[in-house]
Structure 1
Amino acid sequence: MSFRTDRFGGAELVPFPRRTPSAAASEARLPVLIILHQESSTPGRVGNALRALGHRLDIRRPRFGDPLPDTLDQHAGAVFFGGPMSANDPDDYIRREIDWIEIPLREQRPFLGICLGAQMLAMQLGARVAPHAQALTQIGYYPIRPTAAGHALCPNWPAQVYHWHREGFELPVGTELLAEGDDFPIQAFRTGNAFGVQFHPDVTCAMMHCWTTRGYDGLSAPGARERHHHFADRAVYDVAERAWLDHFIDGWLARRQVLAQAAE
């Protein structure tokens, strides 16, 4: 179901709005679709931010047989989270998830892909997902640089954000780059109401303890930060990343309504 990204990439870039109470109340009746990839996975701080806005979470794990909806008419948006698998894996559920992303793109519903979810979005849009040419990883905190478009959309980006990935992706044709990095240049992008971020604003402190314990072997990979740096850097950078996430989530859900009103 892949298609050319210029079909949806031309929407006017407007700053993320703060929702009015009436808009927030009307959207609060709709849940947000949450796609997780492991039995023990949680939506972390993204889930906390959505609940704080009054949204219920419709949590599904297609890997373990949960179905995906035929439309997002009954959801305020969808969030695809990360996982240790690759968007290039041949598993049926990976293919189904990538194909399913055509629905929020076609319906212009809010979609957010985080790490693996961003790679799935990029692949649905025709871009290549692959390991770094020098086998480098990003595991820990690394700097990002918002573009002019990223600043215009959402101010106060954090200087460094948390990563845990071995693969990156090209910028899909017709999409807009919102933030870039060094070893993995594409860090955030958008097309219409769909956004992908390579980093992990969802990670809570408890999740970081879990990941750096269960995934300890990954900390020896080229480019990875040692475990103690994860927590030392969190003390420096986490406040800004959390504040950015709260603003992003609020504006991400409000954006579709503002664009629809502007088009009328």
Structure 2
Amino acid sequence: MSADARNRTAKQPILIVLHQESSSAGRVGQMLSEKGYPLDVRRPVLGQSLPVSLKDHAGAVVFGGPMSANDPDDFVKREIDWLDIPLKEDKPFLGICLGAQMLVRHLGGKVEADRDQRTEIGWYPIHPTEHGRLLMHWPRMVYHFHREGFSLPHGAKLLASGDIYPNQAFRYGANAWALQFHAELTRAMMHRWVVHGAHRFVLPNAQQGREHLEGRMIFDAPLRAWLWDFLDLVFEAPQRAS
């Protein structure tokens, strides 16, 4: 057996939490698989349960969705409460968009829209903080699809900011990470979002569909390269340190 094969069999699965029947882990899932992690996919919105412990997992990723972290649905509340598990067990955790907002709610922060109801739907610049720059190199432009942002939880370190929604990425403790933007979209995923989300392009500050696709040709390669390194920071660094 090759060293790569032994490495693949040695790694625990990563829990993947999705919020629609048709949702995909996209490039995050592809890259984690390439790095040797099996994926344990769960959809609580469809009644699937989340594990009572992550002792048999290498970590967890909670993805985005059309719902809000402020929604009263039982599964939303259960997911927010469940985040106590990766935090208490100090397991690597990554929240993306809705997943980030759920983490903020769990930590006592606020999730709300810009006071002028502006959105970030399309490609927008981010600005790494000093702490973010010390960790890694960041892309100049990232892809968004949201109408709400979040406050920075007490004790969290801001990694990147934005012009409209100031909190774009943060780290809480050693192993919890949150991103407001989407680096996980494959080309096929972006085409689906542009088609099915077209009704949102009339919202304040939203870009039109052609700008989403044109921006991808310009900005996606650096974003993809960043994601590969970022996933190492989240999931590989804790293993090397243990």
TM-score (norm 1): 0.87
Q: Which residue of 2 aligns with 1:105?
A: 87
Q: Which residue of 2 aligns with 1:89?
A: 71
Deviations 1:196-249 (A, max 9, x none): 000000111101110110111001110100110111111111000000000111
Q: Which residue of 2 aligns with 1:190?
A: 171
Which secondary structure does the structure 2 equivalent of 1:30 belong to?
Answer: coil
- Give runs of aligned pairs for residues 38-49 of structure 1, distance below 5 A: 38-49=20-31
- In the alignment, is the contact (CA less than 8 A) between 1:27 and 1:76 conserved in 2? no
Q: Which residue of 2 aligns with 1:242?
A: 224
Once residues 253 and 27 of structure 1 are traced to their aligned partners in structure 2, the CA distance between those partners, rounded to angstroms, is: 16
Question: How far 1:27 moved relative to its partner?
Answer: 8.0
User: What one-letter code is carried by the residue in structure 2 that aligns with 1:205?
Assistant: R
- Give runs of aligned pairs for residues 102-251 of structure 1, distance below 5 A: 102-155=84-137, 157-191=138-172, 192-251=174-233
Query: Identity over aligned residues, as a percent?
Result: 52
The answer as to 2:37 corresponding to 1:55 is yes
- In the alignment, is the contact (CA less than 8 A) between 1:108 and 1:256 conserved in 2? no
Question: How far 1:132 moved relative to its partner?
Answer: 1.1
User: What one-letter code is carried by the residue in structure 2 that aligns with 1:153?
Assistant: L
Question: How far 1:259 moved relative to its partner?
Answer: 4.4
Once residues 28 and 223 of structure 1 are traced to their aligned partners in structure 2, the CA distance between those partners, rounded to angstroms, is: 46
Question: How far 1:257 moved relative to its partner?
Answer: 2.9
- Give runs of aligned pairs for residues 6-21 of structure 1, distance below 5 A: none
Question: Higher relative contact order at CA 8 Å, sep ≥6: structure 1 or structure 2?
Answer: 1
Once residues 258 and 52 of structure 1 are traced to their aligned partners in structure 2, the CA distance between those partners, rounded to angstroms, is: 18
Q: Aligned-pair RMSD on alpha carbons?
A: 1.5
Once residues 143 and 95 of structure 2 are traced to their aligned partners in structure 1, the CA distance between those partners, rounded to angstroms, is: 15
Question: How far 1:252 moved relative to its partner?
Answer: 1.1
Unaligned runs of 5+ in 2: none
**How many pairs were matched up?**
238
- In the alignment, is the contact (CA less than 8 A) between 2:14 and 2:38 conserved in 1? yes
Q: Which residue of 2 aligns with 1:72?
A: 54
Once residues 163 and 9 of structure 2 are traced to their aligned partners in structure 1, the CA distance between those partners, rounded to angstroms, is: 38
Once residues 190 and 155 of structure 2 are traced to their aligned partners in structure 1, the CA distance between those partners, rounded to angstroms, is: 35
- In the alignment, is the contact (CA less than 8 A) between 2:8 and 2:37 conserved in 1? no
Stretches of 4+ aligned residues off by more than 4 angstroms: none
Relative to 1, partners in 2 of residues 1:41 and 1:26: Cα closer, same or farther, differing over 3 Å?
Answer: closer
Deviations 1:48-88 (A, max 9, x none): 11000011110000011100101111111100000000000
Relative to 1, partners in 2 of residues 1:28 and 1:182: Cα closer, same or farther, differing over 3 Å?
Answer: farther
- In the alignment, is the contact (CA less than 8 A) between 2:63 and 2:95 conserved in 1? yes
- In the alignment, is the contact (CA less than 8 A) between 2:94 and 2:177 conserved in 1? yes
Unaligned runs of 5+ in 1: 1-20
